[in-house]
Amino acid sequence: MQNQLQPIIVNKQTSRWHRFDSQQAINEAALERILAAAQESISARGRFSIVLAGGGTPKSVYGLLRNAQADWSKWHVYHNDDRCLPVDHADRNSLMAREVWLNHVAIPANQVHDIPAELGPVEGAKAYAATVAGIDTFDLVLLGLGEDGHTASLFPGHVWDDSLDAFPVFNAPKPPSERISLSARRLSDTREVMFLVTGAGKQEAVDNWRNGVAIPATVIAPATGVDVYTFGVELK
């Protein structure tokens, strides 16, 4: 079951909040919306560009996508951030997405664009900026929310250069300290944003967001607003 609340505006971002009663419900709703967005984009433009998030709830959704029916040949896959670790490290977002989903569907290999974070934050960010530079507006960006209010690798108290499409991250408060992230401006250049927020540990961040505190998640501000899918937190 889904309950939808009134939109909230913070930091020029309009957020629409959706509350689900179970993990299965939020997973299935996210799956349905992703597949619908893909179909709409392919019908309108002949392709579908999606930016993936890391984390447990996205992983569950990717597991559902693995068995879904879609025109995979038209999908183009990107990532919102990744950790500067070897390509086969268990904590790489790209490895998780490949193992759970991407290796099992017929998306052409040259249409799956991992962040080359193994090159290190500076060189990897330069390389990924070049990869996304030729993309106009993304079709769908998936994002999570950290307990501190961060999203992608946009952390509280950090400064990033929004003139860049992708930027190096140093001294991240969560290990590993070195990462690569798409910028807030680049993540906002999309037709649709879906935040997936689950677990009681996110309650303070959700409260801050809904009470108008400018946490990092609020700098993602596409013209169409963002949809926040939630389970396990109270929407006060």
Q: Which two tokens stand for residue 38?
A: 């893909």
Which residues lie across from 200 on neighbouring strands?
none
With 70 as the cut, is the pLDDT of residue 124 above it?
yes
- CA nearest neighbour of 107 among 30, 48, 58: 48
With 80 as the cut, is the pLDDT of residue 59 above it?
yes
With 90 as the cut, is the pLDDT of residue 205 above it?
yes
φ/ψ region of 123 (left if φ > 0, alpha if ψ in -120 to 50, else beta) reads alpha
For 2-40, how does the pLDDT look when each residue is reduced to its tens digit (9 = 90+)?
Answer: 777 778 888 899 999 999 999 999 999 999 999 999 999
| Element at 169 (helix H, strand E) | strand 166-169
DSSP state of 198: E
* Cis before 108 (ω within 30): no
pLDDT at 78 (0 to 100): 98
pLDDT at 1 (0 to 100): 64
Compute, in degrees rounded to 10, the torsion defined by CA atoms 16, 212, 232, 187.
60
pLDDT at 11 (0 to 100): 81
- What is the average per-residue pLDDT within 212-216? 95
CA distances in angstroms from 193 to 7, 98, 203, 211, listed in the order given: 14, 22, 20, 20
Percent of the chain beyond pLDDT 70?
A: 100
* pLDDT-based confidence at residue 130 (cuts at 50, 70, 90): very high
Burial class, 88, CB count within 10 angstroms (exposed 0-12 / middle 13-18 / buried 19+): exposed
* pLDDT-based confidence at residue 186 (cuts at 50, 70, 90): very high
Q: What rounded mean pLDDT belongs to the chain?
A: 96
For 66-110, how does the pLDDT look when each residue is reduced to its tens digit (9 = 90+)?
Answer: 999 999 999 999 999 999 999 999 999 999 999 999 999 999 999
pLDDT at 125 (0 to 100): 98
pTM: 0.96
